[in-house]
């Protein structure tokens, strides 16, 4: 018997997901026949080995039934962790494992590539399915390793030599104490994307030999007349990166770039003084503040600050391959 136990995944329309899915809705595509339980047969999670038969339709299902060659029976995976939101309409494409050349040993994820037809040649032209927040939908490798109901995915990944048993063991060791994992707030190195809501506190989890929480709750709020509030609302995908400011030429400092605006950024109050304290976040630009003087991108020096945040950002810096 396989060392993996088979478990059914339990618990598991949004503008971000629906717009991407709708783009591929009119493709004249033949999908491999499914059983009366709509079990989707997937032969591989390796993008280069995909065949037309691996093209599946997840539309309208809160949990999708999937059968891998390594599975004794079909298993399920959800669109959301709560399991109460169905996959968007026109969620058609290929399930696959994503891990880039610079990924660390605990870094990788299952994703779903939306494509216009069932030809594997369309894979590079497709786009990954989005979660309701607008962040890419994914199941992280640590989730695969630590959640019994994802065991069937781990078995297939090991079978295809996309990961090793040692990687699964290391994930379990690092994440053993973590009851919940949020893919959109988990980062492995500089340039790892994460989700931000400009009207909420920001906390991200940094993955190293152990877990570090970066609590930047203060970043998006201002204090005026003894009152604390968030001057902007909206959401985005952001990333940390090395600061290139002149004053950091000989020092290590981390800044934050707004990669993609997901929902429009709008002021919460008609108070110009507060909004000038935090400049309107703009797509493609560094997050910029002017707390007590000139306008400057926000930056955090990681060697001169004896804080937990500095410890976590040093892990990201050291995990990054760029010198």
- CA–CA gap between residue 132 and residue 13 (Å, rounded): 7
- CA–CA gap between residue 306 and residue 245 (Å, rounded): 21
pLDDT of 34 over the 80 cut: no
* 172/134 same-domain check: yes
- Give pLDDT, residue 293: 61
Residue 1 domain flag: no
Lowest mean pLDDT among 64-78, 217-231, 234-248: 217-231
Half-sphere exposure of 255 (CA within 13 A, CB side): 20
pLDDT of 4 over the 60 cut: no
Of 160, 181, 202, the position where a domain reaches its end is 181
* 163/216 same-domain check: no
Of 181, 200, 234, the position where a domain reaches its end is 181
Q: Is 271 helix (H, G, I), strand (E, B) or coil?
A: coil
Of 181, 197, 218, the position where a domain reaches its end is 181
Residue 274 domain flag: yes
Confidence of residue 141 (pLDDT cuts 50, 70, 90): very high
* 159/261 same-domain check: no
User: What is the tally of structural domains in the chain?
Assistant: 2
- Per-residue DSSP letters for 120-148? GGGGGG-EEPBPTTSSBP-EEHHHHHH-G
Residue 160 domain flag: yes
> How many residues in the chain?
323
- Give pLDDT, residue 27: 41
Residue 30 domain flag: yes
- CA–CA gap between residue 65 and residue 39 (Å, rounded): 5
* 124/28 same-domain check: yes
* 71/199 same-domain check: no
- Give pLDDT, residue 223: 74
* 107/225 same-domain check: no
* 25/152 same-domain check: yes
Answer yes or no: pTM beyond 0.95.
no
- What is the β-pairing status of strands 40-41 and 56-57? unpaired
Residue 9 domain flag: no
Could you tell me the end-to-end alpha-carbon distance of the chain, in angstroms, rounded to an integer?
A: 46
Residue 4 domain flag: no
Average pLDDT over residues 88-113: 94
* 118/216 same-domain check: no
Domain residue limits at 42: 15-181
């Amino acid at each position: 018997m396989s060392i993996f136990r088979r478990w059914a995944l339990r618990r598991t329309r949004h503008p971000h997901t629906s717009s991407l899915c709708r783009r591929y809705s009119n493709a004249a595509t033949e999908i491999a026949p499914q059983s009366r339980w709509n079990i989707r047969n997937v032969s591989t999670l390796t993008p280069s080995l995909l065949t037309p038969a691996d093209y599946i339709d997840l539309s309208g299902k809160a949990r999708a039934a999937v059968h891998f060659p390594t599975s004794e029976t079909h298993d399920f995976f959800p669109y959301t962790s709560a399991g109460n939101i169905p996959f968007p309409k026109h969620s058609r494409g290929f399930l696959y494992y994503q891990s880039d050349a610079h990924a660390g040993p605990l870094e990788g994820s299952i994703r779903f590539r939306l494509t216009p037809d069932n030809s594997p040649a369309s894979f590079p032209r497709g786009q990954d399915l989005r979660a309701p927040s607008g962040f890419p939908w994914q199941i992280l490798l640590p989730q695969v390793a630590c959640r019994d109901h994802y065991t069937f995915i781990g078995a297939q990944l090991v079978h295809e030599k996309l990961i090793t048993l040692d990687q699964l063991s290391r994930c379990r060791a690092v994440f053993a104490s973590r009851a919940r994992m949020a893919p959109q707030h988990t980062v492995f190195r500089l340039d790892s994307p994460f989700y931000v809501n400009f009207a909420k506190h920001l906390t991200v989890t940094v993955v190293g030999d152990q877990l570090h929480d970066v609590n930047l709750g203060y970043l998006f709020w201002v204090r005026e007349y003894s009152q604390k509030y968030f001057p902007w609302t909206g959401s985005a995908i952001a990333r940390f990166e090395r600061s290139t400011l002149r004053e950091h030429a000989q020092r290590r400092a981390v800044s934050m770039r707004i990669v993609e605006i997901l929902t429009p950024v709008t002021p919460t109050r008609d108070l110009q003084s507060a909004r000038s304290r935090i400049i309107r976040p703009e797509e493609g630009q560094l997050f910029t503040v002017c707390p007590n003087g000139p306008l400057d991108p926000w930056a955090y020096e990681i060697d001169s600050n004896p804080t937990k945040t500095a410890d976590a950002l040093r892990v990201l810096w050291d995990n990054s391959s760029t010198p």
